[in-house]
Chains A and B, each alone.
Chain A
Amino acid sequence: MNSMHSATLDAATGWLILAVFSVIWVALGGYLGRRAVGLEGYMLAGRKVGLALGTATAMATWVTSNTTMAAPQLALQMGVWGMLGYSLGSVGLMLFAPLAKRIHALMPSGYTSGDFMRIRYGTTTWRVFLVISLLYGLGWLVSMGMAGGVLVHALTGIDYRIGMSVILAVCVLYTMLGGLRAVIGTDFLQTLIILVGVVILAWLAITEVGFERMHASVLDERPELLNLLMPAAIMFLFNNLLFGVGEIFHSNVWWSRAFAFREGVGFKAYLIAGLFWMPIPVVAGFIALTVPALGLNVPAADMVGPLVAANLLGASGAILVFIVVFAALASSLDSLLAATSDLILTDIYKGHFRPDASDAELGRAARWVVMGLGVFAWLLCLPRITTLAELLYFTGAFVASTIWPIAAGLFWRRVNPAGAALAMVAGTVIGLGGYFLIGFYVAALISAVVSMSIVLVSTWLRPGDFDWSTLANASQARS
């Protein structure tokens, strides 16, 4: 039997990898940022991002440390449906493709998802949306920061606070230096690293263990993992699907890219990114099914990926996992920092406190907002409140309530603005009720159903009549 210890690297190797990749990301981000001109250049990469960088940034941002670490964990706990359920997270990316095209057409000069909610539905609905969006953005940011510290500690033994601080500081530094250009440029390289890394691990598992032996061992020791009718896994599948759709539809992480992509790129980039993202949880996850064949003892399910990698490839396997995890963490953290700070800058700072702020003032403030957000997230990460990691499940009720107000608001001019606000509030409250009374797996589902019902009924009772040109005119005038 192999022990957990075999999965960890020594701290010196960990520090070396951290140092090398930190220098690469900061240098690349700083270099790319030098070409960012003005506020649009900094916040939206000049609105001319092409298909290659657009597809890669959508993929990299959606591949979090969860994808690379939790996919094997889910395969170990829920079997085949666990990894398939996770891969349905790609549906959100693909469904966002037509929305990205619509967003770009309706608001060619828009900056944030908050811009759309304010112009489309008015101030009250905008503020409800901002609360949901900022809560979610901060929750995701903090959970990623904590995941960084936890994973660095688990893989290398480096203290949680130090590892978390280094990863957060590196991401804050290059995002602050280069804005969205730095984020998207580094995302391209990070995507390649992640894809090559998971393929190497999968190939090793296939050639060294083989499907026949893997299948026979699992069937012998853990037959439930190959059961296609595992109820808990099927419920997880649907919840994950809706949660992913809600996360992507409302979050400024995805909206800012829709604004940043060159005309005609948004639809293709999100669709291709979804198609290429879909197999990643399967490729990263199935290696957990080699555990019975390899005779591994897995003391903590969330470390099954590094454990199998170290068993198949020795120390090189652990190094590979560490590099992939660092790339996955950085690609999500930088996107969250940039998109959340955009929302704070335009919708809170300019929208609520400095409506007459010039582009030059906003450009200066943007860097301070990124830094302030990074420091705030760091303070929240310091205590290592593990329950905060579960915050993401908790936010399922919040984000799923936005699916209908967003999607209907983009395509249906009759949506009632007050109904949209009520749909988000009631969907969130009743979804949270489901979370506490029934379980995490129904929160997003209940929230989405309640929100949909309210949007439909309120529009049927008192239909609005929105003029689409308002969106283009208002965002043009503002910019």
Chain B
Amino acid sequence: MTISVTALTWLVGTATLITVLAPIVLMIFWILDLLKGRLW
């Protein structure tokens, strides 16, 4: 059973999108923690 090009595109595309979002989410968390004085 071979993975199709569509499935491979979805797999890698979704993984890349989540990895793009990760640093953005972390920075948002950082700013929120900083504003609330809850960084440390």
Contact = CB atoms under 8 A, between A and B. Distances in A.
Nearest to B20: A199
B26 A203 contact: no
Interface in B9-40: 9, 11-16, 18-20, 22-23, 25-27, 29-30, 32-33, 38-40
A202 B32 contact: no
A203 B17 CA distance: 10
B10 to A, nearest CB: 10
Interface stretch (A221-229, A349-357, A392-400, A420-428): A221-229
B19 A280 contact: yes
B8 A80 contact: yes
Contacts of B20: 199
Given A55-B26, A228-B1, A279 B39 contact: no
A238 to B, nearest CB: 18
A52 interface: yes
A49 B40 CA distance: 4
A211 interface: yes
Contacts of A199: 16, 19-20
A276 B8 contact: no
A89 to B, nearest CB: 14
Contact of B3 (A52, A228, A272, A276): A228
A215 B5 contact: yes
* Most chain A beta-carbon contacts within 10 A, residue among B1, B8, B15: B15
Nearest to A47: B40
B31 to A, nearest CB: 8
A216 B5 CA distance: 8
A80 B3 contact: yes
B29 A52 contact: yes
A195 B32 CA distance: 21
B12 A276 contact: no
A55 B29 contact: yes
B40 A219 contact: no
A196 B8 CA distance: 22
A371 interface: no
A272 B11 CA distance: 19
A46 B16 CA distance: 35
A181 interface: yes
B12 to A, nearest CB: 5
B39 A53 contact: yes
A227 B1 contact: yes
A206 interface: yes
A226 B39 contact: no
Contacts of A228: 1-3
B8 to A, nearest CB: 6
Contact of B39 (A52, A87, A215, A276): A52
Interface residues of B, number: 28
Given A50-B40, A195-B19, 5 more contacts: A50-B39, A56-B26, A80-B3, A191-B26, A228-B2
Contacts of A19: none
B29 A282 contact: no
A192 B26 contact: yes
A198 interface: yes
22 contacts: A50-B40, A52-B26, A52-B32, A80-B8, A80-B11, A191-B23, A195-B22, A195-B23, A198-B19, A199-B19, A199-B20, A226-B3, A275-B18, A276-B18, A276-B19, A276-B22, A276-B25, A278-B18, A279-B14, A279-B19, A282-B15, A283-B19
Interface in A230-288: 262, 272, 275-276, 278-280, 282-283, 286
A219 B18 contact: no
Interface string A188-224: 1001100110110011001000011011100100010
A53 B33 contact: yes
A110 to B, nearest CB: 19
A283 B5 contact: no
A203 B11 CA distance: 14
Given A192-B23, A227-B2, A228-B3, A282 B38 contact: no
A439 to B, nearest CB: 24
Contacts of A195: 19, 22-23
B1 A229 contact: yes
Nearest to B38: A50
Contacts of B23: 191-192, 195-196
B28 to A, nearest CB: 8
B2 A45 contact: no
A202 B3 contact: no
Nearest to B39: A50
B12 A202 contact: yes
